[in-house]
């Protein structure tokens, strides 16, 4: 749909965070004009926020925006802290997405109002970004090995993150930790 906008040009479609970083790097090295990266939060490989961080290392101040079906306050806060300038749900209309791209390209910011209200009411998280990530993967009852694979971590590192999160949240298992973090809007 974005390709139908007369003033927008879709310059690439990629399948992973690593592919986006490589394409972005090539554009920067070739002196291509500024672009806005529309990034899926749950990209294969490195997640959308970590992808945005890499793009901002290559091009400080780059226009990055995250679209997500996981619009939890913790993700929003992490994205904004990383320098992402737009954050909106995947259910956003094509017209709104086009307007947000224009705004981000011109140096503006946009956060979906409903997501912003949820983030403000959720308060600050006690979890690190990686603790929140592993708890998100633990919420469906996954094994440590499955969580590690999904989070691209070793099982030992995953256990450490889960243990730390459980301690911080004052619960006795990873499932309770995931539920408590979800109730607070941190995952």
pLDDT tens string for the chain (187 positions)?
787 888 888 888 999 999 999 999 999 999 888 789 999 988 877 788 889 999 999 999 899 999 988 777 778 888 888 999 999 999 999 999 999 999 999 999 999 998 888 777 767 778 887 898 899 889 888 999 999 998 888 999 999 999 999 999 999 999 999 988 887 777 7
pLDDT for the residue 163: 95
Token couple for 14:
């990629």
Structural domains in the chain, CATH included, are 2-122 (3.40.50.2300), 129-182 (1.10.10.10)
Helix axes 155-169, 174-183, angle to 10 degrees: 60
Token couple for 153:
């971590």
Q: With a threshold of 0.85, does the pTM exceed it?
A: no
Q: Residue 146: CB partners within 8 Å, gap ≥ 6?
A: 137
pLDDT for the residue 119: 75
Q: What is the C-alpha separation between 81 and 152, in angstroms, rounded?
A: 22
Q: What is the C-alpha separation between 78 and 117, in angstroms, rounded?
A: 15
pLDDT for the residue 73: 75
């Amino acid at each position: 749909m974005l390709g139908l906008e007369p003033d927008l040009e879709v310059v690439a479609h990629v399948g992973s965070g690593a592919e986006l970083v490589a394409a972005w790097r090539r554009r920067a090295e070739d002196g291509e004009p500024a672009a806005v990266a529309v990034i899926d939060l749950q990209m294969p490989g490195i997640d959308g926020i970590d992808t945005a961080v890499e793009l901002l290392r290559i091009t400080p101040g780059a226009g990055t925006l995250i679209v997500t079906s996981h619009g939890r306050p913790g993700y929003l806060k992490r994205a904004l802290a990383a320098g992402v300038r737009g954050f909106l749900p995947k259910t956003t209309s094509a017209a709104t997405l086009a307007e947000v791209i224009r705004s981000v390209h011109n140096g503006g910011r946009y956060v979906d109002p409903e997501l912003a209200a949820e983030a403000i009411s959720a308060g600050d998280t006690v979890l690190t970004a990686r603790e929140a990530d592993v708890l998100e993967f633990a919420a469906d009852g996954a094994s440590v090995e499955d969580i590690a694979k999904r989070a691209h971590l070793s099982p030992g590192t995953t256990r450490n993150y889960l243990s730390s999160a459980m301690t911080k949240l004052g619960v006795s298992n990873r499932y309770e930790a995931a539920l408590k973090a979800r109730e607070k809007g941190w995952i």
